[in-house]
Amino acid sequence: MSNEAESSSSFYPLLKTNSAMRTLMGKAGLLGTMSVAFGSMFWSQRKTESEPSASDSPSSDSDPGSSYELKLVQVLFRHGARTPLKSIPDVMEAQWVPTLLEPPPHTHMNYTVTDLQGGPRPPAPVEDSYRKNILSGGTFPGQLTTLGMQQLYELGQRLRRKYIEDRPFLSPAYIPAEVYVRSTNIVRTIESAKCLVAGLFQQKQNEAVPILTTEAENEILYPNYHGCKLLKILCSHRWAESTTLPDIAADLRSIQSALGISAHQHVDFILIRDDMVARETHGLPNPPVLNSWKNTVEQRAVDMMYHIYDPSKKENLQLCVGPLLHVLWENIERKLQGSSSLSHRKLFLYSVHDTTLIPCLMALGIFDMRWPPYAADISLELHRNKQTNEAFVKVSYAGKDQLIPGCSGVYCPLQEFKQVLLTHSLSSDLYQSRCNTTQSRTEL
């Protein structure tokens, strides 16, 4: 099982397909026409239409007379649309041509990539592995496309409207003391972070924006199979097991036969979905037989991921995202205590992957058994009641407020939210201690 956040899972529909995106697609020379009814897009639309409003929130957070003051925002976001990580074997190839990767001018921005201490960018073995393969058309696997860049730019614009235009929380131009940007050490997430910041601050900056990253063995922004021995043991077993579950195995045999994939080829629903959704998103043709299999592919890919992470087994999620949840909580505590230079930060941005968002959503109790779309985001807002000085945390996913199980309202009292996070969070020392063992605590 690969250590990369999305080497085995990643594919996402458009958050939206507006006229600006269609223009970009035309300029990039995309072939084919967009499917009218992408299965994943319909999922996203149904979620938006059926999502309950935050009627139990204590006040409208866009109301300047609100009794709640916003103190801190943390955003975990998935990168934008990209080329597939692998092509479905034995089927017609899509042409992933270099013109699909041209950066829109409005996403250009002065930035630097450093390690967490501000030193040189660490080596990137995952990125190097992509460069060993070339897709049909001449591009590498896993590269952010023009469309993906636009998606992240638009996410930045949404954050600008919310935190700059609708309320004066962030400064209109980039100020280093206010904003912290961290990314996994992979080009598509680094570029996604750059595009988001360009949309957020509209290229208004006096200095380069630092995007911080770290070496692969110490990464906590995705489940780190190479850096955590026990996680590799647990998930490798569950990964292999997921393809042999009766319903999944039967459907996989049927779709391999329908697509004409040789029996000796190693494929699974996550690989198929990756290529399928990447093609659909960019208007590139899929094998026609996939049209009737689209919903099954979506469902079985999610079923596989649910089995691999298995939220009923607390230790799995702790090892997947425990250190990240601990960092998010530490950021909240620093802000409340005002005891360090980092307490002046107003916004923490984390550029991550699908395999980050899924276990985070599971740990928060809000995973809806739908694959997160490209550029999906989980936002945590820290609020203070101006009258009582009490602290609350509000969580949103893809722009929609969420009622977290264990919380008495959408605005979750701080102690209630702490208990939710502490269920799965792990300090760095405890994480390392658990990772270095080869036996699950449930087996002891």
**What is the widest separation between alpha-carbon atoms in the chain?**
67
Please tell me the distance from the alpha carbon of residue 348 to that of residue 331, in angstroms, as a whole number.
9
Residue 79 annotated in active site:
yes
Residue 266 annotated in active site:
no
Helix axis angle for 314-337 and 294-309, nearest 10°, is 80
Q: Are 274 and 84 in contact (CB under 8 A)?
A: yes
| Rg, Å, the chain Cα set | 21
* Side-chain-side CA neighbours of residue 297 (13 Å): 29
Q: Which residues contact 385 (CB under 8 A, 6 or more apart)?
A: 58, 67, 68, 69, 391, 392
Sort strands 391-397 and 400-402 into parallel, antiparallel or unpaired.
Answer: antiparallel
Please tell me the distance from the alpha carbon of residue 398 to that of residue 376, in angstroms, as a whole number.
5
Instruction: Name the catalytic one among 61, 268, 275, 354.
Output: 354
Please tell me the distance from the alpha carbon of residue 170 to that of residue 71, in angstroms, as a whole number.
10
* Side-chain-side CA neighbours of residue 292 (13 Å): 7
Residues forming the active site? 79, 354
